[in-house]
């Protein structure tokens, strides 16, 4: 597929209080079927890659930065916006559309998406949206799926039938799921129950570790971090060279640093402040 109208994972509080983008949408289960196809011969091809709200996950930022040959910091500066709203307990990163009347995605070309292999989670999922129930301690969130049947999208007129599960597999969502779930587990962490807020220093740390992975790597290897924590040599080596290993470790570290979970152990001798 070529685009998305924000099928971003969205918190749901039950059918009566669904967020606006999900209201009135057909609800789906993993095994539910829907008709859809998106390919260059559809008459709406790439029309949807303009003026869209695409929230980027940490894996999206990383994949797009690598595809564009930019550091994560450069990618964040050039291609994203971080809207501030008082309802959000963590920063959100959005893909910045071009500053023209059409507001085209910077990655759309005549032949479709120029970053197809690195396209964001939301672009992969469309026309399926995901809703997540509010966090409950000890209960893994069970997503609900929704079908976006936007008038601008003619893919729904095509006869090809999918289950949600088959669609996610076909679009490469399933293959990336462990990193996406690692992130969703942070955002929907039970620590936030009751409206608890992180302090600005921890929010900054969350942003760096989750989205600015190159800066996080630099931090790990230019400070005493790896000496202060009990980390296997093999893991430390992978953190130097393997982006996905670093992101996976970042989520683990954030659970320790933000929520006090014992996901990382300090070395016994160290009494220093452990925060970055």
Give me the residues that bind ligand SF4 (CB under 6 A), please.
Answer: 1-4, 38, 42, 44-49, 52, 105, 107-108, 113, 115, 119-120, 123, 126, 152-155
d(C-alpha 19, C-alpha 108), whole Å:
28
- Cβ closest to ligand SF4, residue 158 vs residue 185: 158
Cβ-proximal residues to 18 (8 Å cutoff; 6+ apart), any chain = 12, 131
Which of residues 35 and 193 has its CB atom nearest to ligand SF4 in the complex? 35
* List of residues 6+ apart from 34 with CB closer than 8 A: 26, 28, 127, 128, 147, 156, 161, 162, 164, 167
Distance CA 47, CA 60 (A): 22
**Tokens, residue 235:** 């893991």
Nearer residue to ligand SF4 within complex by CB, 155 or 188: 155
Residue 90 DSSP label: S
CB of 119 to ligand SF4, least distance (A): 5
18 C-beta neighbours (distance < 10 Å), count: 19
Contact 25, 147 (CB under 8 A): yes
Contact by Cβ (8 Å): 11, 131: yes
Smallest distance from ligand SF4 to CB 30, Å:
21
Name the minimum Å distance from CB 84 to ligand SF4.
Answer: 23
| Cβ 38 to ligand SF4 shortest distance, Å | 3
* Residue (96 or 248) nearer to ligand SF4, CB: 96
> To the nearest whole angstrom, how small is the minimum distance from the Cβ of residue 94 to ligand SF4?
12
128 vs 187 by CB, closer to ligand SF4: 128
Nearer to ligand SF4, 119 or 184 (CB): 119
Half-sphere exposure of 207 (CA within 13 A, CB side): 18
Pick 45 or 192: Cβ nearer ligand SF4: 45
229 CA to centre of own chain: 27
| Minimum distance of ligand SF4 from residue 178's CB (angstroms) | 22
Which tokens sit at 87?
């309802």
Q: CA quadruple 128, 78, 92, 97: dihedral positive or negative?
A: negative
Q: How far is the CB of 196 from ligand SF4 (least distance, A)?
A: 34
CA distances from 173 to 25, 117, 168 (A): 21, 11, 5
């Amino acid at each position: 597929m070529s685009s998305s109208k924000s099928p971003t994972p969205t918190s749901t509080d039950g059918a009566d209080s669904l967020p606006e983008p999900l209201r009135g949408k057909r609800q789906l289960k993993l095994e539910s079927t829907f008709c859809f196809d998106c390919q260059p011969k559809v008459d709406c091809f790439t029309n949807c890659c303009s003026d869209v709200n695409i929230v980027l996950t940490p894996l999206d930022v990383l994949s797009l930065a690598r595809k564009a040959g930019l550091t994560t910091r450069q990618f964040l500066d050039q291609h994203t916006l971080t809207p501030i709203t008082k309802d959000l307990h963590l920063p959100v990163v959005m893909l910045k559309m071009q500053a023209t009347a059409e507001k085209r995605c910077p990655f759309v070309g005549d032949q479709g998406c120029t970053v197809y292999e690195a396209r964001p989670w939301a672009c992969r999922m469309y026309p399926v949206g995901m809703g997540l129930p509010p966090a409950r301690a000890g209960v893994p969130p069970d997503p609900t799926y929704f079908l976006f049947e936007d008038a601008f999208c003619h893919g729904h007129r095509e006869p090809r039938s999918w289950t949600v599960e088959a669609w996610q597999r076909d679009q490469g969502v399933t293959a990336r799921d462990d990193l996406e779930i690692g992130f969703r587990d942070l955002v929907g962490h039970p620590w936030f129950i009751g409206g608890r807020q992180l302090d600005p220093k921890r929010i900054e740390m969350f942003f760096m570790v989750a989205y600015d992975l190159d800066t996080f790597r630099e931090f790990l290897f230019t400070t005493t971090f790896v000496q202060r924590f009990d980390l296997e040599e093999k893991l430390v080596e992978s953190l130097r060279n393997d982006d996905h290993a670093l992101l996976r470790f970042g989520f683990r570290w954030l659970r320790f640093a933000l929520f006090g979970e014992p996901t990382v152990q300090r070395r016994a001798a160290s009494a220093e402040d452990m925060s970055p």
